[in-house]
Structure 1
Amino acid sequence: MKKLKVGIIREGKVPHDKRVAFTPEQCAQISQEYPNVELVVQPSEWRSFKDAEYSNVGIKLSEDVSDCDILIGIKEVPKTELIPNKKYLFFSHTIKKQAHNRSLLQTMMQKGITMVDYECLVDKNDNRIIGFGRYAGIVGAYNGIMAYGLKYKMFDLKPAHLCHDKKELFSELDKVNLPNIKVVVTGGGRVANGACETMGAMNLRKVTPYEFLNYTFREPVYVQLHSHDYFEAKDGSPFSSYDFHHHPENYRCIFSDPHSYASVTDLLVHATFWDPRADIMFTKARMRDPDFRISVIADVTCDIDGSIPSTTKASTIEDKFYGYNPLTEEIIGSFDKEAITIMAVDNLPCELPRDASDGFGKHLIERLLPSLFGDEDHSIIDRASILRDGKLTSRFEYLKDYASLV
């Protein structure tokens, strides 16, 4: 069998991402499991794993990756660094016709590149099989707790991006001493479940939606809300998960109804997918009501001007929070007296790059590599291939006008 040479490329996009597709240990594992694959790693001064960590487990370092058959990264590859006629795997952020990456797709077409997008790695039912969502949830919830401690001068947590790994981050939570507040986590996917991991690491008690709405507690508690807990059909029919996900416009959000969740929640960790056809969680007008109790919102989804109307911009890892004044609808100081504190970092997994890389690499090894390097069904890769030799595949023909040079 022909030897397949695979390059793990450094992240060239600025600001530089510290994540990587495979950790040193995973590279060693791949080399053992796939003897027909030769792995090389492009040196990087900003990767969360040092070059020596790769060479110490027998992985070759090489600045030149032009002789590789497959090149694997994380974020978009700068256009000037794209090598013609190669097969790439990374997040291209082009499938929604993102304007800022149009020229990237055009360049890949001109250079005859085969592009496999992680975002498009789905099973036969179109469910995504790869992602960093768990760590977005873990860090997003941590940041929300951090904001609450700073806002009320209760405790001061070490910023997530300064923690070595998840273990250190969770140990920081030993500092947390919350009053009997109520926390909502929205969603039921990887992101929300990651947020619940953080709640569990604090030993926060989990309660039911009914208990959350109707009981007073002597300790801090949290609830995980699914769509059926805060959406109802406009025509009064029973909630249907299938119908809701296909026709969300037929449902009304009751999260902020009088005497509902917005009236009893102190901290909201918003960690659910939002379809623009769906109702928003609450209006700006509702945020002005005296009984709107939420004082900190960790908007993990970070849809600008989306389901959380106070998320009017993304925040950054270095400057995680900003304040929203519901009376003036203006951005103010993060912890001003009039502020609802917003956390809207849009690249949360980058705060725990070692753990996020490890989790991502495990998914790739389990779900992708048997098809990419082995003899298993290649349909997963076919479904995720936006370009093949510089031409749009049939699944992505809808990008033709977006990719046109005219």
Structure 2
Amino acid sequence: MKKIGIIKEGKVPIDRRVPLSPIQAKQVKESFNVEVVVQTSDIRCFSDDDYRNAGLEIVESIDDCDIILGVKEVPMDMLVPSKTHFFFSHTIKKQDYNRDLLRTILEKRITLIDWETLTNENGNRIIAFGRWAGIVGAYNGIWTYGKRYNLFDLRRAHECFDYEDLKTEFRKIKLPHIKIALTGGGRVTKGAMEVLLGAGIRQVTPYAYLNEKFNEPVFTQLNSRDYNRKRDGGEFQRNEFYKNPELYEGDFLKYTKETDILIACAYWDPAAPVLFKREDIIRDDFDIKVIADITCDIEGSIPSTKKPSTIDDPIYDYNPSDNEIEQALTDEGNITVMAVDNLPCELPRDASESFGNELVKSVLPHLLGSDEKGIIERATITTEGALTSKYAYLQDYVDGK
């Protein structure tokens, strides 16, 4: 019988999310005929007693487990040799800060499966926290605007018990006749739209957003075609844009003249055009006052995102004249930036339950079954001390080149 262990999250700052809630862990145990144990932890959003009450065993060590499930990067001294580990490794883009982590995984002959690499036959991710990043990010953006202009006093998302509790704050939101631009079209964006619509903010088309005046707060959702254009004047083609973004140039400045809050949700390829540059910000017609950068690409498509912020200290000011970060809410000439890079952690119970549902439905049947669709195979980064063929491109990263 296979033995699955839920590891204690060891990364600092702490992450209270779990891959399986107590009820889901019990479901896995009963439905897949496997043993499930939970490493004791005092930081989870679900307590040890919650798991005990669901019939799960709480253990000090998970070294005897075949499969180990976690959320964030596992500290190198907590990695169990020769076992199968699932977690977000943040290595597939050759992130410098996790090179030693991947080296240790190889040295310990661990089979690493990254949640981010689990995809269906069409290459679409099948499990993610994106919706919750969007929900918390949009809420934080509204919270930031309220703080900047002393409009209302909302609880922070992490101070709420869960999403239903957070929704009770929506009635406190009283915005002036501002415009909010939302980039992207995926899970993150849909999560952000849930909050804006839930707060009673009306959605309008990009055309109306640019050309009409409103006596209420409104938002528009922008796809890539709305703010990128073909360099040669040809027609925008989405597949071409994602495959060859260098053929396009940015066309976002028309929105900066009409926007008070920017909520950035769209994935950005470094080869693609940026939304705007520092010199654009200091123009007289640049009106954006608050940026909620959910993507948190440091010095990427948005020049004011110069560092990530934290749940405890979520905002900072960007001084465009000097291209420097300053203390939040200090000067009206600054842009206030919200760039928390672990947003789903603010609603850990909901985020965990949503993630766990996808894990039970879309991943475990393949992991514990035949994997006929190759979902587990495609997502496996390392095994038996070597990179798999799909991820052989990481060898120079491992070698420090």
TM-score scaled by length of structure 1: 0.96
Q: Partners in 2 of 1:168 and 1:29 — Cα distance?
A: 26
Q: Partners in 2 of 1:10 and 1:61 — Cα distance?
A: 11
The correspondence of residues 2-401 of structure 1 with structure 2, limited to 5 A, is: 3-34=1-32, 36-256=33-253, 260-336=254-330, 337-377=332-372, 379-401=374-396
Change (3 A) 1:155 1:133: same
SS of residue matched to 1:272:
coil
Q: 1:125: how far off?
A: 2.3
Change (3 A) 1:97 1:376: closer
Is the Cα–Cα contact under 8 Å of residues 106 and 405 in structure 1 kept in the other structure?
no
Q: 1:194: how far off?
A: 0.7
Q: Partners in 1 of 2:326 and 2:151 — Cα distance?
A: 21
* Letter of the structure 2 residue corresponding to residue 227 of structure 1: S
Q: Partners in 2 of 1:324 and 1:21 — Cα distance?
A: 36
Q: Partners in 1 of 2:384 and 2:171 — Cα distance?
A: 53
Q: Partners in 1 of 2:278 and 2:312 — Cα distance?
A: 27
Is the Cα–Cα contact under 8 Å of residues 37 and 373 in structure 1 kept in the other structure?
no
Gaps of 5+ in 1: none
Q: Partners in 2 of 1:16 and 1:5 — Cα distance?
A: 26
Is the Cα–Cα contact under 8 Å of residues 372 and 378 in structure 1 kept in the other structure?
no
Is the Cα–Cα contact under 8 Å of residues 87 and 115 in structure 2 kept in the other structure?
yes
Q: Deviations over 1:250-307 (max 9, x none)?
A: 1111110xxx211011100000000101111011111011111110000110000100
Is the Cα–Cα contact under 8 Å of residues 176 and 202 in structure 1 kept in the other structure?
yes
Is the Cα–Cα contact under 8 Å of residues 121 and 373 in structure 2 kept in the other structure?
no
SS of residue matched to 2:180:
strand
Q: Partners in 1 of 2:199 and 2:284 — Cα distance?
A: 30
Is the Cα–Cα contact under 8 Å of residues 149 and 155 in structure 1 kept in the other structure?
yes
Q: Partners in 2 of 1:248 and 1:281 — Cα distance?
A: 13
Q: 1:193: how far off?
A: 0.8
Is the Cα–Cα contact under 8 Å of residues 263 and 292 in structure 2 kept in the other structure?
yes
Q: Partners in 1 of 2:320 and 2:104 — Cα distance?
A: 44
Q: Deviations over 1:314-362 (max 9, x none)?
A: 1111110001122222212311222211001111111111111111111
Q: 1:404: how far off?
A: 2.9
Is the Cα–Cα contact under 8 Å of residues 94 and 105 in structure 1 kept in the other structure?
yes
* Letter of the structure 2 residue corresponding to residue 4 of structure 1: K
User: Bigger shift: 280-289 or 321-330?
Assistant: 321-330
Q: Partners in 1 of 2:170 and 2:347 — Cα distance?
A: 15
Q: Partners in 2 of 1:70 and 1:246 — Cα distance?
A: 36
* Letter of the structure 1 residue corresponding to residue 235 of structure 2: P
* Letter of the structure 1 residue corresponding to residue 393 of structure 2: Y
Q: Partners in 2 of 1:54 and 1:264 — Cα distance?
A: 50
Aligned residues, how many? 400
Gaps of 5+ in 2: none
SS of residue matched to 1:146:
helix
Q: Partners in 1 of 2:322 and 2:394 — Cα distance?
A: 40
SS of residue matched to 2:168:
helix
Q: Partners in 2 of 1:77 and 1:397 — Cα distance?
A: 22
Q: Partners in 2 of 1:277 and 1:375 — Cα distance?
A: 38
Is the Cα–Cα contact under 8 Å of residues 276 and 306 in structure 1 kept in the other structure?
yes
Is the Cα–Cα contact under 8 Å of residues 333 and 339 in structure 1 kept in the other structure?
no
SS of residue matched to 1:386:
strand
Q: Partners in 2 of 1:350 and 1:264 — Cα distance?
A: 32
